[in-house]
């Protein structure tokens, strides 16, 4: 039975699910074509797949596939609870960095399903940022990146 709590100003269900994503069928939008190093401010945000506005939760799964045109490597995927102009603050709000799990980066057009257990509190409700770091200019990049988990509040 899902856990209920009304002490935080309203009812919420501990086991509510969230899913946010970014998807490019033809690579024409360009969301995946800009490289962001760890020292850059993340500016890309996920879209909602399920209409749940959440502030706090546990990220449990990252699912992605990229098929870049140019012969470059996706070095890192980083997920942030907030975006800050200074690197120190952004690093404090980092929810996930793939460099520990995939030090050599990701293989072109392979699909990855990464299990997570990352609690978070978003600065802005429902807004989760991501940044992709490439070894060079990827060119047109169809693919997807999807984050899902459990809503706490």
Distances (CA, A) of 94 to 69, 83, 87, 98: 28, 9, 10, 11
Asked if the model's pLDDT at residue 11 lies above 70, the reply is no
Label residue 143 left, alpha or beta by phi (over 0 means left) and psi (-120 to 50 means alpha).
left
Write out pLDDT tens, residues 99-132. 999 999 998 889 999 999 999 999 888 889 999 9
Q: Is the pLDDT of residue 77 over 70?
A: yes
For the cut 80, the answer to whether the pLDDT of residue 18 exceeds it is yes
Angstrom distance (rounded) from CA 65 to CA 116: 17
Q: What is the pTM of this model?
A: 0.83
**Domains of the chain, residue spans:** 17-151
Q: Is the pLDDT assigned to residue 134 strictly greater than 90?
A: yes
Q: What angle do CA 136, 139, 143 make, to 5 degrees?
A: 105
Residue scoring higher pLDDT (26 or 90): 26
CATH architecture, domain defined by 17-151: Sandwich (2.60)
């Amino acid at each position: 039975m899902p856990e209920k709590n009304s002490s935080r100003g309203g009812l919420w269900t501990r086991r509510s699910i969230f899913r946010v994503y970014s998807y490019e069928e033809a690579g024409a939008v360009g969301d995946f074509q800009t490289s962001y190093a760890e020292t850059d401010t993340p500016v890309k945000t996920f879209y909602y797949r399920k209409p749940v506005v959440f502030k706090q939760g546990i990220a449990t799964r990252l699912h992605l596939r990229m098929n870049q045109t140019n012969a470059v490597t996706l070095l890192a995927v980083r997920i942030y609870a907030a975006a800050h102009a200074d690197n120190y603050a952004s690093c404090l709000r980092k929810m996930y960095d793939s460099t520990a799990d995939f030090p050599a980066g990701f293989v072109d057009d392979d699909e990855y399903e990464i299990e997570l257990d990352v609690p978070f509190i978003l600065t802005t409700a429902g807004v989760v940022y991501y940044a992709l770091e490439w070894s060079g200019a990827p060119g047109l990049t169809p693919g997807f990146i999807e984050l899902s988990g459990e809503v706490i509040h």
